Structure 1
Amino acid sequence: MAKLSLLSLLAIVLLSCNSLKKVEEDEYLVTKNLIYADSVKINNEELESLIYQKPNSTVLGYPLRLNLYNLAKENPDSSYNAWLNNKENRKKRLEKLLSTKQVNRLGESFLVKGLSEWLKDIGEAPTILDTTRTRLSLARLSAYYQGKGYFTNNTSYVIDTTKNKRKAKVNYQVSLGEPYIIDSLSNDISSTAIDSLYFLNSANSLVKEGQQFDLANFNMERERLTGIFRNSGIRNFQESSITFDIVRDTVKSADDQKMNITLNIGDLKIRGENEVTTSAYKVEKINKINIYTDYLSTSTLDSINIIEYGDYTIHYSPNFDIKPKTLANAIFFKKDSIYRDVDKIRTSRQLNALNIFKYPNIIFEADSLGNKVNTNIYLAPKPKYSLGTNFEVSRSNLRRLGVGLGTTLLIRNIFKGAENLSISADGAYGLLSNNTFEANYFSEFGGDITLDFPRIWFPFINTSKLIPNYTLPKTRIAIGTSFQNNIGLDKQTFNNVLGYNWVPSDFVNHNVELLNIQFVRNVNSNRFFNVYRNTFERLDDIADRYETEPELAEFFESDSDPDDPTLIIPSGTTGFIDAVENGIIATSTTDFNDVTRLEERRKRLTDNNLIFATNYTFNKTNREGIVDNSFYQFRWKLESAGNLLSAFSNFIPFNKNDDEQLLVFGVPFSQYIKNEFEYVKYWDLSRSNVLATRAFFGIAIPYGNSDNIPFVRSYFAGGSNDNRAWFPYSLGPGSVSAVNDFNEANLKLALNLEYRFPIVGDINGAIFADAGNIWNVFDNVEDSNATFDSFASLKDIALGTGLGLRYDFTYFLFRLDLGFKTYNPAEIQSERWFKDYNFANAVLQIGINYPF
């Protein structure tokens, strides 16, 4: 209650703040800037950034930082002294009680002075109108439009104070006039090598006759030409060598506003100590290629060995050995080929991707033969062995306290072909939060072995023509296992992956898992009803209706409450289910169907799983860096399981179980096809405000040897990265009301929308809406409330809305989201909207980094 009162008091204080508190009577608080071009309002973030004086930032329209600043005392020192000396004996009484030194320190304390300084730091001073800066903003706007060809534009501003005499809106007005048009293009190129290259690529010029003048086009054309020249042998071409002469007549009539453009490309400027000389550009070819594999070695030159391999001269020491072919595959310079910048970029990228060298250093030296250049590549090996550890302490609703420890040993260049072997082991031990099991502790441990090859390894096939080396091809072979004790059914898992990955560009990624084998063994399947308590309670409620049946007497606890007997786990639950399914007792049709469904679920979740899958994932984005907030991401994944084993069964006789399922090592293998699509789109609105959206659709269809999807490959809804108004596994399927401990299905639809905005410093806020659900389709679930039958089932899409806070730690982001159930399909039709839309039923989610 005290916390709520404090928050309420803070809210009242902030809401009652006067934004004009620190604005003098003869001053104006800038509240808005409006830009008009030929009387048309312009909404352009680039133009708005040119304005010197920007209005104070707001959070959902409220000037939070301004009002925090206004809460600070302007001169806390003088205020304290005035209070101290306001009464004749106050200072003396305080000095007698605290001492003179402590009274002086009190004036420097956080409550007296520090609080005001802190409020000023996190707050924002009012933006006071300064007409000098307004005129400077006009000059910027004028220069911007001149860069767009409006050389005769005129600018002015109007200060609007009609709504409040101390608040001002500034209207910036630009009269554009007629734009200048490029009438003719000519060129003056001093180098014959440059001249021929230019004319070969002039058709794609970004500066054309008849085009409106735009300074941005000239800058992009300089970048385009520089890239062409540097990838056509002109190794040392300087972008500053490209200039444009612009001839225009600003005194001509408005009908004749044309200009003539001359492209100039000068010679190479060589800066000496006292003078600058010039030299004609020329096309250079690669001559010698020297590779120094251990240039930081302390060995003497006598111990350095040299080997000639193709176009390369490799210098290496006994301290480090690597196969020449591996280096050749990572270097894209070829003897007697013309120099290309792209080859340098790809070489650096590939050498770094090998993860056995520190940053490579590539140096070019002009050869005495004129147009030849020697290439020296200096490499410094990373340590062969690298050991990493991690330690964590955890707590959850199931684990009272858990301690985890993991370690990873990385062995680089293990087979001298840049193969890297990673061996990791981890374990966790702790105390349970409840008495589900006889012991009050849990443990989990496991390990993985991963071997990475810097190439696509496929027997008898040369893949380098299909997947070039510059795409950073990688083959990964991984084997892992884990063991659990007192965690659910105590699963033992075994994983084996043979996968390939290649990256054609910074924006596209391909990943293929040719083999993804997963075996899951449930050690203690008899614990099912101890772990899945909701399922047990549903079964026990049904059994209570038949407790008087003599055949069931031994299935109930003898010492339990006579008015509420409970089934014994596992003998009682198994016995009751058998009695119902075998007709030993007479039950209603509804109870029979419910017990059958519960037993089907128990079998599905306790059966061992063998998944023998192949999958392909395609990722594409146009994001140019972590600060780019206007981009899209697309991911498509296709997975198929069981087909290879099914094909083998035509030649090798497999055993079958009672359900006619084919068995491998006594376990029915899963057979299904799974397809997923995900699209994420960001819009950078302005001033660090971002609108982000995501759409996801996934479906997994069982067939052949399976009539359902393994739990580990199914979908769930809810959680910090999904629909945040529900906890994980608590939403769906369909309009079912979270009857199971872990609700999952094989069809999922999710739609997310989030508006992100800055609040104070590294603290950001968000408003979000999450929609979606899961359904069963094409499997053995027959509950109409849980299945997707037609587009009419879309009425079961749940909607959650809420607010979020984020703290940016630079390297990661800590996230709190409070979700409210806005539309809950599990409720009856008349109560689905806003029934639980309150703080009592809100869900607090904790996450790391953004959900999408």
Structure 2
Amino acid sequence: MKTRYIKYFIGLSLFFAFGCSNTRYLPEGDLLYTGSSVTVKDSVIKKNDRKELEKELEALLRPKPNKKIFGLRPKLLIYNLAGQPKKTKGIRHWLRTKVGEAPVLFSKVDLDYNVAVLRNFTENRGYFKTRVSADSTAKNKRATAEYTVWPKRQYKIKSVQFPVDSTDLGKSIARTSRRTLLKEGNPYDLEIIKLERERIDARLKEKGYYYFNPDYILAQVDSTKGNYEVNIKLKIKDETPDKATIAYKINKITVYPNFSLLKDSITYKKEDMVQYKDFTIIDTANTFKPRVFDRALYFKKGDFYNRKNHNLSLNRFVNLGTFSFVKNELKVSDSIKNTLDAYYYLTLLPKKFIRVEVLGKTNSAGFTGSEINANWNNRNVFRGAELLTVSVFGGADFQLSGENKGQNIFKLGTETSLTWPRFITPFKMEGSSEFVPKTKATVRYEYQNRTLLYALNSFKTSFGYIWKDNIRKEHQLNIVDVTYVSPNNVTAEYQQDILDDPSLGKVIEKQLIFGPTYSYTFTNTMLKRRKNNFYFNGEVDLAGNVTGLVTGANIKQGDTIKIFDVPFSQYVKVKADFRHYLKLGKESELASRIIVGAGFAYGNSSTLPTTKQFVVGGTNSIRAFRARSLGPGSYQAPLTSNSFLPEQSADLKLEFNTEYRAKIYGLMKGALFVDAGNIWLLNADPDKARAEISKDFIKQIAVGAGAGLRFDFSFLILRTDLAFPIRKPYLPEGQRWVLDDIDFGNGSWRKENLILNIAIGYPF
């Protein structure tokens, strides 16, 4: 043991020794540049503001020194140790050019240039007549640069004047002053002036000024009057071209739905032209019904040009899902003064295509298997940009070890869906966002066979709507959502298991579920530069409520109503999934999730259908426990006489997950995580002791921890997580924390506690 520690000490010493010898490889007479600092000296500026300014100024300095980690420069060390490669390939060349980093030499540092950059930045922030000096320090073949900044008192805005001329353009700019970014009393900042010009330009683009741009606005700054104050006067530059001062209206609108990128010109016959309302369609193949374009176009003849409507039209064409390329062109009209002719060039995607997906999978319940999905698609089945998808799928999961060995799962099924790019309702509804609203109808059948146990036939049909307010908010409402489940081939062994655990009988009961469902999703995770990103999904599932109310069903009084000889389910179920992503660095973040769910059966049902109950455990849940094996509460399902470990489900769910994610190297990323939660029954079950919710539910929380690797191949993310429990809720009180039992060197402990999860994509 001592010898091993000595080896570690020697290795670490050698590493530090090599790390400190980076300067021996420097060119003769040059120094290694190790960084710089900025000191702001001013008695007027508050200390915190001074520190913030120093940080901003230091970020402007160039070049950046070699990156340090724990006081060392490992990339520079690798560069030096690799030496000069003799070939343009091989391990040495790869280490030096890809992994290593060349030394940043002090001879490349231009002190005068950096002084000018610092002075320019501070003056642009209102610290006029700033004085900046630079110095350097050299020691042991290393050099640093030190900059000192003496800013004067920061100037503030005394007044802002918008154009007062009587032209239409001047009046339009003046009318935007109410939302100006230039506030009296705020510090002068050139960046804010630039943003103000862009704001004015954006407002003008909504008023028809298609050819205007921010550079046509001049901001005259007068600092000669007042005490450290400036007067800002905004005016239109004299050299502004005439066409930029005109508010244009839309004249002709022409759509080319069969535009080819391979042809230089468009040829068509007179009979190919279709006039629909106030726009012209030139469709040589009669591909679409004209109303498709009417719903996509936000421009109407005679409207003032509006950039918002311009972008909405383009985005709607893209979101129809039938075009691979969308181009728009606006030209000054030859026929009517001060108008624009709009042209839309649309290139079609292939109308029909087949997609086949094959995947392998494994889960923490010990199942290993594969699945194949074959999808045939028609993007324009009724000439209205409808999408018809017919799918056939099948799969097999094999239980090769564990308690359920030999109890394999086979499934086979088909699904047909038809999506219309509009709302189909008895009354007129039109979406008002860049995203095309959709109506979707689906019919699905699945046969699942669990060998040695039972088989299930599942039929599902739904009809509903999907729409987005914007890129962050999405709604999905199914006004019809019907599920029918029928058992088949129930084995004698499973019938015996039901005697051991009566709750297993609910799995093979016939189920009829119908009613509306609604989900709302908000996410801003696509905004990569934000430090804090959020995701929220809320779901509401209402089954049999109207039918139960009309029929007066009350299972407590024995009044169970059946439809086609099957009792229909009646319940209310809600679920909320909230996630937070905190960016800690360029390649690291802390991701957290909390899930809360509750289901309440009433009227015609005493419990939620098994397929609608909540479960925990598995690759995307509490990873230290096998899939669907945890809970409810402190209940632990015993092995049946058939060595069958039943899946557990319940009415209530609480789950929390958090994990630290960071890049390790290249496409490999790592994670450390903690998962916690459980499920509970709403009412006591005599066959499941301590499974119902109580005031002490917190004492029944399960906790697991672990580490994982993620391999980011861009087209998919392969995830491996190794987890182990640190709190087991089914143990007696006082013994549920099992931290003291952790023993990675013990084979029996590893077999009982370590869970390997392999999956595609992140868990949340």
Question: Is TM more than 0.5 here?
Answer: yes
- How many angstroms does 1:757 deviate by? 2.5
Q: Partners of 1:831 and 1:14 in 2: how far apart?
A: 40
Q: Distance in 2 between matches of 1:707 and 1:203?
A: 60
CA contact (8 A) 1:510 1:619 kept: yes
Rounded Cα–Cα distance in structure 2 between residues aligned with 1:169 and 1:776: 66
Q: 2:255 aligns with which of 269, 288, 291?
A: 291
* 1:76-95 map, 5 Å: none
Instruction: Please state whether the residue corresponding to 2:516 is helix, strand or coil.
Output: strand
Count of aligned residue pairs for this structure pair: 730
Q: Name 2:673's counterpart in structure 1.
A: 768
Report Cα offsets for 1:269-309 as digits up to 9, x if no partner: 6xxxxxxx654511111112222333449996336433332
> Of 401, 423, 448, which aligns to 1:484?
448
- Report the Cα distance in structure 2 between the residues aligned to 1:842 and 1:35, rounded to whole angstroms: 53
Distance 1:393 1:157 in 2: 62
Mapped partners of 2:237, 2:88: distance in 1: 65
Does structure 2 conserve the Cα–Cα contact (< 8 Å) formed by 1:385 and 1:412?
A: yes
Offset of residue 847 of structure 1: 3.2
For 1:245, the equivalent position in structure 2 comes to 220
SS at match of 2:469: strand
- How far apart, in 1, do the equivalents of 2:344 and 2:510 lie? 54
Given the superposition, is the C-alpha separation of residues 127 and 755 from structure 1 closer, same or farther in structure 2, using an over 3 Å criterion? Answer: farther
**Contact 1:632 1:681 (C-alpha < 8 Å) held by counterparts:** yes
The 2-side partners of 1:738 and 1:756 are apart by 34
Q: Which residue of 2 aligns with 1:848?
A: 760
Query: What is the distance in 2 between the residues matched to 1:613 and 1:168?
Result: 73
Name 1:232's counterpart in structure 2: 207
Corresponding residue of 1:745: 650
Aligned to 2:597: 698
Contact 1:717 1:728 in 2 (8 A): yes
Answering whether residue 462 of structure 2 is matched by residue 497 of structure 1, we say yes
Match status 1:615 vs 2:520: no
Shift of residue 614, structure 1, vs aligned partner: 1.5
Aligned match of 1:735: 634
Which residue is equivalent to 1:306?
A: 273
Q: 1:573 to 1:289 in 2, by over 3 A?
A: closer
Is the 8 Å Cα contact of residues 238 and 268 (structure 1) preserved in structure 2?
no
- Distance in 2, matches of 1:62 and 1:356, equals 55
In the other structure, the counterpart of 2:642 is: none
Report the 3-state secondary structure (helix = DSSP H, G, I; strand = E; otherwise coil) of the residue aligned with 2:491: helix
The whole-number CA distance in structure 1 between the counterparts of 2:300 and 2:237 is 29
Q: CA deviation at 1:512?
A: 0.9
Identity within the alignment, %: 26
1:765 offset after TM fit, Å? 2.6
Q: Distance in 1 between matches of 2:110 and 2:726?
A: 48
- CA change 1:76–1:322 in 2 (3 A) is closer
Q: Distance in 1 between matches of 2:720 and 2:402?
A: 31
Q: Name the structure 1 match of 2:388.
A: 421
Deviation at 1:692, TM superposition (A): 2.6
Task: Select 1:354's aligned residue among 314, 320, 333.
Answer: 320
Q: Would the aligned equivalents of 1:489 and 1:528 in 2 still touch at CA under 8 Å?
A: no
Contact 2:672 2:707 (8 Å CA) reproduced:
yes
Q: Greater shift after overlay, 338-347 or 507-516?
A: 507-516
Q: In the alignment, does 2:230 pair up with 1:259?
A: yes
| Counterpart contact for 1:763–1:806, Cα < 8 Å | yes
* SS of equivalent to 1:732: coil
Cα deviation for residue 831 of structure 1 reads 5.0
Match of 2:747 in 1: none
Shift of 1:832: 0.6
Larger C-alpha radius of gyration, 1 or 2?
1
Which amino acid is the alignment partner of residue 674 of structure 2?
A
The CA distance in 2 between the partners of 1:438 and 1:782, in whole Å, is 25
Q: CA, structure 1 residues 267+139, in 2 after alignment: closer, same or farther (shift >3 Å)?
A: closer
- How far, CA to CA, are the matches of 1:737 and 1:660 in structure 2? 34
Deviation sequence 1:742-789 (CA, Å, 0-9, x none): 222222222233333333233333333323222222475785632221
| 1:203 positional shift | 0.9
Distance 1:659 1:160 in 2: 91
Mapping for residues 802-817 of structure 1, pairs under 5 Å: 802-817=706-721
Equivalent residue of 1:328, what SS? helix
Distance in 1 (CA, whole Å) between partners of 2:692 and 2:115 is: 63
Instruction: Output the CA distance in 2 between the equivalents of 1:750 and 1:37.
Output: 52
SS in 1 for 2:15: coil
Amino acid at match of 1:50: L
Task: Give runs of aligned pairs for residues 677-692 of structure 1, distance below 5 A.
Answer: 677-692=576-591
Contact kept, 8 Å, 1:189 with 1:265, in 2: the verdict is: no
Match of 1:17 in 2: 15
1:309-345 per-position Cα deviation (integer Å, ceiling 9, x unaligned): 222222322x234222222111111111111111111
For residues 520-599 of structure 1, the aligned pairs below 5 Å read 520-526=485-491, 529=494, 570=495, 577=499, 598-599=501-502
Q: Aligned ranges for residues 48-127 of structure 1 at < 5 Å?
A: 49-52=59-62, 65-66=74-75, 69=78, 72-75=81-84, 114=91, 117-118=94-95, 121-124=98-101
Specify the SS of the correspondent of 2:245: coil
SS in 1 for 2:312: helix
CA distance in 2, matches of 1:160, 1:67: 21
Task: Indicate the larger mover: 792-801 or 44-53.
Answer: 44-53
Aligned-pair CA distance for 1:396: 6.7
**2:302 counterpart SS class:** coil
Q: Indicate if the aligned counterparts of 2:296 and 2:313 stay in contact, CA closer than 8 A.
A: yes
Alpha-carbon displacement from aligned partner over 1:539-584 (angstroms, at most 9, x marks no partner) = xxxxxxxxxxxxxxxxxxxxxxxxxxxxxxx4x657xx4xxxxxxx
The code of the aligned residue for 2:627 comes to P
Task: Supply the distance in 2 between the matched residues of 1:140 and 1:782 (Cα, whole angstroms).
Answer: 76
Are 2:49 and 1:150 equivalent residues in the alignment? no
How does the TM-score come out when normalised to structure 1?
0.75
Question: What residue is the counterpart of 1:587 in the other structure?
Answer: none
In 2 relative to 1, CA 454–665 (structure 1 residues): closer, same or farther, beyond 3 Å?
same
Instruction: Report how far residue 241 of structure 1 moved.
Output: 1.6
Give the match for residue 220 of structure 1.
195
SS of the residue 2:323 aligns to: coil
Greater shift after overlay, 756-765 or 30-39? 30-39
What SS does the aligned partner of 2:235 have?
strand
TM-score (norm 2): 0.83
The offset of 1:70, in angstroms, is 7.0
Aligned to 2:608: 709
| Structure 1 position 206, deviation (Å) | 0.5
Gap change, CA 1:399 and 1:631, over 3 Å in 2: closer
Moved more, 123-132 or 749-758: 123-132
Q: Provide the C-alpha distance between the structure 1 equivalents of 2:119 and 2:291, rounded to a whole number of angstroms.
A: 59
Shift of 1:475: 0.4
Aligned residue for 1:340? 306
Using the TM superposition, give the Cα deviation of residue 165 of structure 1 relative to its aligned residue in structure 2, in angstroms: 7.8
Measured against aligned partners, the alpha-carbon deviations of 1:513-551 in whole angstroms (never above 9, x if no partner) come to 11221222222333664xxxxxxxxxxxxxxxxxxxxxx
Conserved in 1, the CA contact under 8 Å of 2:684 and 2:691?
A: no
Q: 1:675 and 1:511 mapped to 2: Cα distance?
A: 15
Q: Distance in 1 between matches of 2:682 and 2:707?
A: 33
Kept in 1, the 8 Å contact 2:154–2:187? The answer is yes
Determine the structure 2 residue equivalent to 1:204: 179
Q: 1:821 aligns with which of 690, 702, 725?
A: 725
The alpha carbon displacement at 1:14 in A equals 6.9
Structure 1 residue 477: Cα displacement: 0.3
- Residue type at the aligned position of 1:758: K
Structure 1 residue 701 displacement after superposition: 1.7
Deviates more, 1:619-628 or 1:211-220: 619-628
> Aligned pair in 2 of structure 1 residues 118, 667: CA closer, same or farther (>3 Å)?
farther
User: Compared with structure 1, are the counterparts of its residues 266 and 645 closer, same or farther at alpha carbon in structure 2 (3 Å cutoff)?
Assistant: same
Is the 2:209–2:248 Cα contact (8 Å) retained in structure 1?
yes
Alignment match of 1:386 (pick from 353, 372, 388): 353
Q: Is the 8 A contact 2:441 2:462 kept in 1?
A: yes
2:54 and 2:706 map into 1 onto residues whose CA distance is 30
Which amino acid in the other structure matches residue 317 of structure 2?
L
Query: Which runs of no fewer than 5 residues in structure 1 stay unpaired?
Result: 78-107, 270-276, 530-569, 578-594
List alignment gaps of at least 5 residues for structure 2.
25-29, 639-644, 745-749
Q: In 2, are the aligned partners of 1:191 and 1:280 still within 8 Å (CA)?
A: no
Question: Contact (CA 8 Å) 1:400, 1:431: kept in 2 or not?
Answer: yes
